[in-house]
Amino acid sequence: MNLQEKMFREFEDKKIFEQARSFAFDYLNTAFERNVFPSEEAIGNLDEFAEELPAHPGEAASILAQLHRYGSPATVAQIGGRYFGFVNGGVIPVSLAARWLSDVWDQNAALYVISPLVSKLEEIVEGWFRQLLGLPERVVAGFVSGSSTAIFCGLAAARYRVLQNNNWDVNRKGLNGAPKIRVVAGRHAHATVIKAVALLGFGVDNIEWIDTDVQGRVAASAVPPLDGRTILILQAGNVNSGAFDDFESICKQAREAGAWIHIDGAFGLWAAASQQLRHLTRGIEYANSWSVDGHKTLNTPYDSGIVLCDDKEALVHALQASGAYIAYSDHKDGMLYTPEMSRRARAVELWAALKYLGKSGVDELVSGLHRRAAQFGRELQENGFTVLNDVVFNQVLVSCGDDELTRRTLKYIQQSGECWVGGSTWFDRAVIRISVCSWATTREDVSRSVRAFVAARDKAAEHSGQPQPHL
pLDDT tier for residue 323 given thresholds of 50, 70 and 90: confident
pLDDT tier for residue 470 given thresholds of 50, 70 and 90: very low
- Determine the Cα–Cα distance for residues 69 and 377; give it in Å rounded to an integer: 38
Alpha-carbon separation of residue 331 from 102, 203, 336 (angstroms): 21, 37, 11
Residues with Cβ within 8 Å of residue 224, at least 6 apart in sequence:
184, 208, 210
pLDDT given at position 322:
81
Instruction: Sheet containing 386-387: give its strands across.
Output: 83-84, 420-426, 429-435, 395-399, 386-387
Q: Give the mean model confidence (pLDDT) for residues 33-47.
A: 94
pLDDT digits (tens, 9 = 90+) for 109-151: 999 999 999 999 999 999 999 999 999 999 999 999 999 999 9
Q: Give the mean model confidence (pLDDT) for residues 459-465.
A: 83
Residue 383 neighbours by CB distance under 10 Å: 14
Q: Give the mean model confidence (pLDDT) for residues 167-193.
A: 96
Closest CA to 393 of 240, 285, 192, 246: 240
pLDDT digits (tens, 9 = 90+) for 276-285: 999 999 999 9
Q: What is the pTM of this model?
A: 0.95
Q: State percent of the chain over pLDDT 90.
A: 95
pLDDT digits (tens, 9 = 90+) for 326-373: 889 999 999 999 999 999 999 999 999 999 999 999 999 999 999 999
341 exposure class (CB count in 10 Å sphere: 0-12, 13-18, 19+): middle
Q: Give the mean model confidence (pLDDT) for residues 234-247.
A: 97
- Determine the Cα–Cα distance for residues 41 and 363; give it in Å rounded to an integer: 41
